[in-house]
């Protein structure tokens, strides 16, 4: 056997993304609030950046200059070229190199007022479940020892208000035993003392706290004033599974009440809260801040604006540009200064490029989904990101980044930009493309019009779509029904309408 090793030249093509392009893509993907934070961070870390005085009084309408967000961006590797182009750059970036880099007294006062206003509007920390319950103990006639033990019991409640812990082996929730509470309290107490302390806690608001399972939680919320109280208790103790599956005849056979009374009792059962402590969970409210506002004009056209009036407007500091011209710095310092200068330059470019891209992409989306804005969500059309990319003249990944986590305020409400994209099917009768979102709307209409005594099965709903010229598989009907939180036909059946 002979072994040969040959050396042959090979060419390997690899694409290296320049730092400028990476920064541009990152800025494009940021929603408006994250963009503000990014700019503030850059202002703190890059001395070549400074904030312009004041903010725009209103969102600015962006014109559509001829540009291609995917076009190769120029990137100079040598610092000498940057020095040679300094004067030319100063001319090109005239507005960014404002000599008046020091904030005026009026500007400082304005910023101070805004900071004070922001501090005054900071929401106070929400009251925790434990604090809410402990505060109520003071209104009960308890001895100091009882108060302390009841407070100890409260400290063992989970976020939903249950007296539960988690099994060390399985990780599943298990009731906290009286023995564990007595052993860990730190003072000699009896099991009866612990039971009394729990009974005190279970009398507090919200009703249902201190329970060790769902049934006990619901039972704690049933009072003598609850309509059909005895029947509701019976449903909780023996028929929760039957209620979940709408098996009213089974319940009637076992409890003897008529269907109308059972149905009424179930409605009151549904008013009980299986997680009474959840409302106190320390979860900050999530607010949607639109990146774009679309308004309708008098001539029935749409105007697109960015909500960037509170985004810091930045420019390159002229003072640091002058420092960059000083050739007395050692090469390493000069190189660092050049990096900071280029980074500031690129950031300003990327912010402007983001604004232009968002405007162009949004305008293209609005053009395709005009019927949505004119008539309502049920008139949304199938739309792919590739279509918008072709219309705008960019790569589909640019569109994907542009719409990622972005929200638009329209005359129809506030929507995620991704809301306007989706597939669909073709109406075999009319030849029109119909979005899956429209299919969901039609599904709601079909179920709203059904006979509640004999609700449609998923297969019957599929047949309804077929009659309308729409080919929708049964599994798709099931998928959309469940996504819309619509129960099955058996669960929708109203047994009180039976003759």
Asked if the structure places residue 120 within a domain, the reply is: no
The last residue of a domain, from among 280, 310, 329: 280
339 with 261, same domain: the answer is no
402 and 443 in a single domain? The answer is: no
Compute the distance between CA of residue 472 and CA of residue 455 in angstroms, rounded to an integer.
19
* Cβ-contact 270, 280 below 8 angstroms: no
In this structure, the answer to whether residues 294 and 383 fall within a common structural domain is: yes
Output b/e per residue, 364-377; b: 16+ Cβ within 10 A. Answer: bbbebbeebbeeeb
Q: Which of 388, 422, 456 marks a domain boundary?
A: 422
Q: Are residues 249 and 290 in the same domain?
A: no
Mean pLDDT by 10 residues, the chain (499 residues): 51 55 88 92 91 57 36 37 37 40 46 47 67 90 91 91 80 85 88 93 93 94 92 93 91 90 92 91 69 91 88 88 80 86 91 94 94 86 92 93 93 91 80 81 89 90 88 89 88 78
The pLDDT value given to residue 9? 52
Q: Which residue has the tokens 């006979």?
A: 451
Do 471 and 433 form a contact (C-beta atoms < 8 A)?
no
Hey, what are 38's tokens?
């990014």
Beta bridge partners of 164: 175
Q: What angle do CA 455, 460, 461 make, to 5 degrees?
A: 85
Give which of 404, 419, 410 is closest to 34, Cα–Cα.
Answer: 404
Residues 145 and 251 grouped into a single domain = yes
- Domain of residue 257: give its range: 129-280
Q: In angstroms, what is the C-alpha Rg of the chain? A: 33
Q: What is the pLDDT of residue 54?
A: 59
Which residues make beta-bridge pairs with 410?
413
- Let me know whether 409 and 323 are in one domain: yes
Q: Are residues 65 and 13 in contact, defined by beta-carbon separation less than 8 angstroms? A: no
Whether residues 161 and 271 fall in one domain = yes
In a domain, 148, yes or no: yes
> Is residue 168 in some structural domain?
yes
Q: Distance of CA 225 to CAs 48, 204, 221, 231, 268, Å? A: 71, 17, 11, 13, 11
My answer on whether 241 and 176 are in the same domain is: yes
Give the pLDDT confidence score for residue 311 in this predicted structure.
Answer: 85
Question: 298 and 189: one domain?
Answer: no
Residue 396 lies in a domain: yes
Structure confidence at residue 94 (pLDDT): 40
Same domain, 395 and 436: no
Q: Which one of 246, 263, 280 terminates a domain?
A: 280
Flag whether 5 is in a domain.
Answer: no
In a domain, 13, yes or no: no
Q: How many domains does the chain have?
A: 3
User: Does residue 137 lie in a domain region?
Assistant: yes
Looking at the structure, tell me whether residues 136 and 259 fall in a common domain. Answer: yes
362/420 Cα distance (integer angstroms): 10
Q: Are residues 416 and 314 in the same domain?
A: yes
The percent helix, strand, coil of the chain (3-state, each to 5) is: 50, 10, 40
Question: Could you tell me if residue 394 is inside a domain?
Answer: yes
CA 448, 454, 456, 458 dihedral sign is: positive
């Amino acid at each position: 056997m002979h072994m040969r090793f040959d050396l042959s030249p090979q060419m390997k093509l690899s694409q290296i993304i320049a730092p400028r392009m990476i920064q541009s893509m990152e800025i494009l993907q940021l929603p408006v609030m994250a963009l503000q934070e990014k700019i503030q961070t850059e202002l703190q870390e890059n001395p070549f950046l400074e904030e312009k005085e004041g903010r725009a009084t209103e969102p600015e309408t962006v014109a559509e200059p001829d540009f291609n967000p995917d076009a190769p961006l120029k990137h100079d590797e040598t610092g000498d070229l940057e020095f040679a182009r300094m004067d030319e750059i100063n001319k090109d970036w005239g507005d960014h190199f404002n000599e008046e880099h020091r904030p005026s007294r009026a500007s400082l006062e304005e910023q101070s007022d805004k900071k004070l206003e922001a501090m005054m509007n900071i929401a106070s920390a929400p009251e925790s479940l434990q604090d809410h319950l402990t505060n109520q103990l003071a209104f009960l006639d308890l001895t100091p020892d009882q108060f302390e033990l009841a407070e100890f019991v409260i400290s063992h409640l989970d976020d939903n208000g249950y007296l539960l812990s988690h099994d060390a082996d399985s990780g599943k929730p298990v009731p906290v035993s009286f023995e564990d509470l007595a052993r860990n309290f730190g003072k000699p107490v009896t099991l009866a003392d612990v039971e009394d302390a729990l009974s005190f806690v279970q009398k507090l608001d919200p009703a249902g706290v201190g329970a060790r399972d769902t049934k006990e939680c619901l039972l704690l919320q049933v009072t003598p004033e609850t309509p059909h109280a005895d029947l509701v208790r019976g449903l909780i103790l023996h028929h929760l599974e039957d209620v979940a599956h709408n098996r009213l005849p089974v319940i009637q056979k076992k409890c003897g009440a008529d269907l109308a009374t059972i149905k009424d009792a179930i409605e009151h059962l549904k008013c009980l809260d299986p997680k009474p402590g959840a409302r106190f969970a320390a979860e900050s409210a999530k607010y949607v801040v639109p990146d774009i506002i679309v308004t309708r004009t008098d001539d029935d056209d749409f105007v697109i604006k960015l909500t960037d009036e509170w985004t810091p407007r930045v420019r390159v500091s002229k003072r640091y540009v002058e420092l960059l011209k000083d050739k007395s710095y050692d090469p390493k310092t000069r190189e660092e200064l050049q990096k900071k200068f280029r980074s500031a330059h690129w950031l300003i470019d990327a912010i402007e490029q983001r604004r232009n891209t968002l405007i162009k992409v949004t305008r293209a989306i609005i053009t395709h989904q005009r019927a949505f804005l004119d008539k309502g969500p049920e008139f949304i059309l199938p739309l792919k990101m590739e279509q918008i990319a072709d219309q705008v003249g960019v790569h589909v990944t640019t569109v994907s980044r542009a719409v990622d986590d972005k929200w638009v305020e329209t005359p129809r409400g506030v929507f995620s930009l991704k809301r306007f994209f989706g597939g669909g099917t073709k109406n075999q009768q009319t030849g029109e493309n119909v979005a899956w979102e429209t299919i969901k709307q039609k599904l709601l209409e079909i179920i709203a019009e059904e006979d509640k005594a004999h609700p449609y099965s998923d297969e019957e709903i599929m047949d309804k779509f077929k009659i309308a010229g729409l080919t929708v598989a049964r599994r798709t009907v099931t998928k959309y029904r469940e996504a819309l939180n619509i129960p099955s036909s058996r669960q929708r059946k109203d047994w009180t309408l039976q003759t």
